[in-house]
Amino acid sequence: MPEPVLEVRNIHTYIGQFHILEGVSLSVPKGSITVLLGRNGAGKTTTLKSIMGITPPRVGEVIFDGQKLAGKASFNIAKLGIGYVPEHRAIFRDLTVAENLQIAERRKGDLAARQDFIFELFPDLKKLYKLAGGNLSGGQQQMLAIARALVPENRLLLIDEPSEGLAPVIIEALMNAIRRLSESATVLLVEQNFRMASRLADRYVIIDDGASVQSGMMADLVNDQATIQRYLGAA
């Protein structure tokens, strides 16, 4: 197995007085697409937020590229090379497509260097460049949210529920894009849509009731109907 780019070791996260994550551990190998699976409310999104320092864990360690992330603010974590695409198509609705992309530049010229790749992945964005983000369709907004994470040189992309509420044809385009971008960055994905997840990911981690309960190769999980039924309730 390639060396891990991200390691999460037994993290416990609280939101207010609620103990949300009660022991999540996972390892994301370099160059892989790893998916976090689990039922609604299992703690998948909180795991991504804990990695990004939005809801920092009180116990446990998050290590990115050999560096411990404890105590770092989320903007410093992002600067280390982690792109975060939150759920619900988290774009800036008042900014244009161009501004949404420009704002993600960490160094001058980041966008110029990667815009060909971005427009190749998401050709629609080129046509809609001057429109406000709020005027885009759901699928276009999701593409923009992912594209924004591609502007700077990120080595790890955390993508939360990219297929949520999208039409099948858009999901297919998104899957192709995520596959393409995994050629240059490691991807950790949260996905409810098991069909999409199983076709896309190399590896999986199942989170149940705030704890990681199982992980391994996706090819093995697809044949393990008992585990799928037990934790995901999907066939």
Partner 1 sequence: MHIQKGFQWRAVGKNWLLIAAFILLIVFPFLVGVLTNTDPTARRGLSVYWQGIMIELLIYGILTMSYNILFGFTGVISFGHALFFGLAGYLMGAFQRAPELADGGLLIGILVALVVCAGIGLLIGVATLRLKGVYFAIFTLAIAEMVYIFLSRYEYTGSEDGFTLAALPEWFDPTRSRLTFYYIAAAIFVFTFILIRRLMESPTGAVLLAIRENENRARTIGFNTLTYKLMAIVLAGILAGVAGILFTLLNKKVGPEMLGTAYTVNPLLMTIIGGAGTLLGPAVGAMGLRLLELQLRNVQIPLGDVVLDIGRILPIILGAIFILVVIVFPYGIVGTFTRWRLNQRARHAERLAKQAEALKSVS
Binding residue (CB under 8 A) for partner 1 from 4, 56, 152, 162? 152
Span between the terminal Cα atoms of the chain, in Å:
28
Residue 102 found at the interface with partner 1 (CB under 8 A): yes
Confirm or reject binding of residue 146 to partner 1 (CB under 8 A).
Answer: no
Task: Pick the piece of the chain touching partner 1 (CB under 8 A) from 26-34, 38-46, 127-135, 179-187.
Answer: 127-135
For 167, phi then psi, to 5°, come to: -70, 150
Q: State which of residues 74, 184, 192, 227 lies at the interface with partner 1 (CB under 8 A).
A: 74
Whole-angstrom distance, CA of residue 164 vs CA of residue 145: 13
Kindly state the smallest distance separating residue 91's Cβ from partner 1, in Å. 9
Q: Pick from 44, 72, 114, 148 the residue near partner 1 by CB under 8 A.
A: 148
Neighbours of 175 (CB within 10 A): 17
Q: Which residues, at least 6 apart from 16, have a Cβ–Cβ distance to it below 8 Å?
A: none
Which CB, 90 or 175, lies closer to partner 1? 90
Q: Do residues 194 and 234 lie in contact, with contact meaning Cβ atoms separated by under 8 Å?
A: yes
Q: Is 70 in the site for partner 1 (CB under 8 A)?
A: no
Determine the size of the site formed for partner 1 (CB under 8 A): 27
Among 131, 211, 222, 234, binds partner 1 (CB under 8 A): 131
The SS3 of residue 197 is helix
Q: Does 185 bind partner 1 (CB under 8 A)?
A: no
Select from 61, 65, 95, 110 the one that contacts partner 1 (CB under 8 A).
Answer: 95
- Cβ-based nearer residue to partner 1, 151 or 221: 151
Could you say which DSSP state residue 35 is in? E
Least distance to partner 1 from the beta carbon of 57, Å? 16
Q: Please report, for residues 14, 20, 64, 165, the alpha-carbon distance to residue 72 in angstroms, rounded to integers and kept in the order given.
A: 17, 20, 12, 33
Q: Does 54 bind partner 1 (CB under 8 A)?
A: yes
Question: For the sheet containing 186-190, what is the strand order?
Answer: 82-85, 156-160, 186-190, 33-37, 203-208, 211-217
Q: Reduce the DSSP state of residue 81 to 3 states and report it.
A: coil
Query: Which residues contact partner 1 (rule: CB under 8 A)?
Result: 52, 54, 73-75, 78-79, 84, 86, 90, 92-95, 99, 102-106, 127-128, 131-132, 135, 148, 152
